[in-house]
Every structure is written in structure tokens, then in C-alpha cells.
């Protein structure tokens, strides 16, 4: 019987081989995180100009927007890992989704909090139940649901399967968040970076924003690799305990 997994996935199905790869990637991801985060914060806080309408409060954008990007990116990553776990039975995919879920929840919470801080001076209120804000709040609850389901069963495999199904079903919320400003009348402005015709934001603000986006991305992969190493070690320890108990 042939293995239906793609060759690239099969290559890193062995945890030991993945750990060797992680040991190589981890210093690079951590170093790039520090470099990009420092550069992005310096340009965003000290070099980029204040907005002609929003003034200095626009600088919240350099944390809020990358956090919102990562909230969607991490959930997409989880959905892909869940699909790989359910379809190809990749042994590390469920661990990758489990490791990513708290990180995605953290990014989503940062996006919600900084959005409220930004919205108060701009809109005159901390919160409104518009399509974008409500769908992001639902995304946060999906992350929490994934974490809860993963740990809800005595059998880790059952928890992983239930969480994987939730991740795939909940993925429908990702395009809703992305296109909510186009489909409904919301307080959020339309996309100004990822849009047809190119970014509408000035380069003095665009570059710090992109640097912060990359910094958040490498920060995610740094923490993901660390958490995956811990999850693999915990799985090995659990298997060893079970083997000793069975004797």
C-alpha cells in the first residue's frame, strides 16, 4: 500500500528529523524576529509621520494590523494542519495545530484590544457590533474552542480529531473577516495594503507596517518551533510512561 501523503510532508513525518530541522531554523527565526521587530518599531514610532487625520494615534496601526494579519494567518495554518492530520494522518500535523492555537488566540486578543484603543479616539467608542469586529471576536472564540476540545478528552487522539474538525468548519470565518468591509457597511476602512492596484498607504507608513508584519510572522514561527519541540517531548514521555505501565 503506497503512502498517500505528499513527499514533502512525508519527509518530515519523523519527529527526530523534524527536530533536527527545527534546531537549524530556530536561531534564524529568533534572530530575524529581533532584527525586524527593532527596525519596524523604530521606523513606526520615530520615523514615520503622524496621520493628517488621526495624529499620533495612527501608530497603534503598527501593532494592530500585523496582529490582525497573524490572527487570520495562524488560523489558516491550523486549518491546513488539521486537513493534513485528517486526510494524510501526518503524525505532527495535530501537534502543529495544537501548538499554534494559543499563539493565534494571543494575536487575535492583541488585535481586539489594540482595535478598541484605536477605535475610541477615532469612532468615539470602544466597541461596535459591526461585521469586522464581530467576526474577529468569533475567531477568538474559535481559537478558545480549539484549545478546549484538544484537552477535553482522556484520549489525545480523540481530542485532536475533534479540534481538527472545528478548525476546518471554522475556517469559513476567515474569508468573512477578510471581505466583511466589502460585503457590509462597517466602520473599518477597506483594505489599503493587500488590494488590486497596489497599496494606497504612503511608503513612509507602508514600510514600517510590512516590517512589523514580517516580525510578527517570524515571532510566530519561533514560538511554534519551541512549542512543537515541547509537544514532541511530552508525547515521547507519555508513550514511555504507558510502555512502563504495560509491563
Task: Count the residues in the chain.
Answer: 247
**Cβ atoms of residues 36 and 208 within 8 Å:** no
Q: How much is the pLDDT for 82?
A: 96
Domain membership of residue 17 (yes or no) is: no
pLDDT at 179: 82
**From CA 15, how far away is CA 18, in angstroms rounded?**
5
Query: Does 155 fall in a domain?
Result: yes
Note whether 152 and 57 are within 8 A (CB): no
- Scored b (16 or more CB within 10 A) or e, 189-201 reads eeeeeeeeeeeeb
Which residue's C-alpha cell is 520615530? 46
Residues contacting 184, CB < 8 A, separation 6+: 130, 131
Q: For the chain, what is the radius of gyration of the CA atoms?
A: 20
Here the CATH number for the domain that contains residue 218 is: 1.20.120
For residue 136, tell me if it sits in a domain.
yes
| Per-chain mean pLDDT for the chain | 86
Would 1 be classed as within a structural domain?
no
Query: 34-54 burial, b for 16+ CB within 10 Å, e for fewer?
Result: eebbebbbebbeeebeeeeee
Residue 195 lies in a domain: no
Per residue in 131-178, pLDDT (tens digit) is 888 999 999 999 999 999 999 988 888 999 999 999 999 999 999 988
For residue 13, CA distances in Å to 77, 156, 167 come to 17, 18, 21
Report how far Cα 36 is from the mean position of its chain's Cα atoms: 18
Is the confidence at residue 120, as pLDDT, over 90?
Answer: no
Higher pLDDT residue, 5 or 167? 167
- State how far the Cα of 161 lies from the Cα of 146, in Å rounded to an integer: 10
**Cβ-contact 131, 179 below 8 angstroms:** no
Domain presence at residue 192:
no
Residues 36-82: pLDDT tens digits? 999 999 999 999 988 777 888 889 999 999 999 999 999 999 999 99
For residue 157, being part of any structural domain is answered with: yes
Q: What is the pLDDT of residue 14?
A: 75
Residue 238: which pLDDT band, with cuts at 50, 70 and 90? confident
Element (H, E) at 224: helix 203-246
pLDDT above 80: residue 107: yes
| pLDDT exceeds 90 at position 101 | yes
Q: What percent of the chain has pLDDT over 70?
A: 85
* pTM (2 d.p.): 0.88
Exposed (0-12), middle (13-18) or buried (19+): which is 246, by Cβ within 10 Å? exposed
User: What is the number of structural domains in the chain?
Assistant: 1
Q: Is the pLDDT of residue 1 over 50?
A: no
Query: Within 171-202, where are the H helices?
Result: 173-183
Is the residue at 63 inside a domain?
A: yes
pLDDT of 29: 97
Domain carrying residue 148: 22-185+203-246
Amino acid at each position: 500500500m503506497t503512502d498517500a501523503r505528499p513527499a514533502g510532508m512525508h519527509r518530515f513525518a519523523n519527529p527526530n528529523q523534524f527536530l533536527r530541522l527545527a534546531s537549524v531554523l530556530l536561531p534564524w527565526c529568533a534572530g530575524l524576529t529581533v532584527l525586524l521587530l527593532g527596525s519596524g518599531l523604530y521606523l513606526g514610532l520615530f520615523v514615520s509621520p503622524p496621520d493628517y487625520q488621526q495624529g499620533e494615534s495612527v501608530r497603534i496601526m503598527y501593532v494592530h494590523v500585523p496582529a490582525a494579519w497573524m490572527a487570520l494567518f495562524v488560523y489558516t495554518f491550523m486549518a491546513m494542519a488539521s486537513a493534513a492530520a485528517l486526510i494524510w494522518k501526518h503524525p505532527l500535523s495535530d501537534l502543529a495545530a495544537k501548538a499554534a492555537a494559543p499563539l493565534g488566540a494571543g494575536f487575535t486578543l492583541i488585535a481586539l484590544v489594540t482595535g478598541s484603543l484605536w477605535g475610541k479616539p477615532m469612532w468615539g467608542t470602544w466597541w461596535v457590533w459591526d461585521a469586522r469586529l464581530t467576526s474577529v471576536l468569533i475567531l477568538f472564540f474559535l481559537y478558545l474552542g480549539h484549545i478546549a476540545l484538544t484537552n477535553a478528552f482522556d484520549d489525545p487522539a480523540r481530542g485532536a480529531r475533534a479540534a481538527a474538525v472545528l478548525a476546518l468548519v471554522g475556517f469559513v470565518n476567515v474569508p468573512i473577516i477578510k471581505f466583511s468591509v466589502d460585503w457590509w457597511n462597517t466602520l473599518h476602512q477597506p483594505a489599503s495594503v493587500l488590494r488590486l492596484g497596489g497599496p494606497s498607504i504612503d511608503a513612509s507608513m507602508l514600510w514600517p507596517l510590512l516590517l512589523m508584519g514580517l516580525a510578527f510572522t517570524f515571532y510566530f514561527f519561533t514560538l511554534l518551533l519551541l512549542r512543537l519541540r515541547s509537544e514532541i517531548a511530552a508525547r515521547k514521555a507519555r508513550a514511555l510512561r504507558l510502555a512502563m505501565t504495560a509491563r
